[in-house]
Structure 1
């Protein structure tokens, strides 16, 4: 096992064929899943709006650095799929983008003296 890196992964998708029960449940919780509640967590944070067209999940994923961002993206997509299937919400068109937090360069503004 190689060096573990921490990845922040955003998984985006579209709601698809939502049942009346899913639509009602999502709309009942829409205020808890808005932009103000976005954060990266190992369990994932779901965000969506009242239109119920698109959604995103934000995950923190630990993965071997040699497996790269692609593995972190695959792991996050699998987590999102499992969560959504478990609660019975229809979805499609998952795509993801990972950022390796261990190699991310931070550009600091030079101090003015």
Structure 2
């Protein structure tokens, strides 16, 4: 499955989930460490965004990473399936950086269920 297939909106997208996937880098070789350290500024937490493509952030310690993304879903899709799609995106993003992963843990929020409290109401 390609990244564009994973990211493709379901035919009748009605919900959007905000998902945070946390994981650890698998043991890294010297070349992998050097490559990740050279790119660390581009993956600083202050650059993190929730987008459909997702954003990978990590610290120079290279122990763990965080992937943030928005995943559209149909009303019928189960949250577990949506999280699975986000984790697949996270794995692809980490591998694109030249690393591997372990110990993924994810948290999702259905943005349609968030209630905005306005002052004075």
For residue 110 of structure 1, report the CA deviation from its aligned partner. 2.0
The alignment partner of 1:108 has SS state of coil
Residue pairs, 1:1-113, within 5 angstroms: 4-110=14-120
Query: Which whole-Å CA distance do the structure 1 matches of 2:63 and 2:41 have between them?
Result: 16
* CA distance, structure 2, for counterparts of residue 31 and residue 106 of structure 1: 34
Paired with 1:36 and 1:2, the residues of 2 have a C-alpha distance of 33
C-alpha distance in 2, partners of 1:29/1:87?
9
Question: Secondary structure of the residue that 1:65 maps to in structure 2?
Answer: coil
Task: Give the superposition deviation at 1:3.
Answer: 5.2
2:13–2:74: 8 Å Cα contact kept in structure 1? yes
Unaligned 5+ residue runs, structure 2? Answer: 1-10
What is the deviation of 1:6? 0.9
Scaled by the length of structure 1, what TM-score is found? 0.86
Deviation larger for 91-100 or 60-69? 60-69
Distance change >3 Å, CA 48–CA 3, structure 1 → 2: closer
Deviation >6 Å, runs of 4+: none
Residue 90 of structure 1: CA displacement? 2.0
Distance 1:81 1:104 in 2: 28
Distance change in 2, residues 1:56/1:106 (3 Å)? same
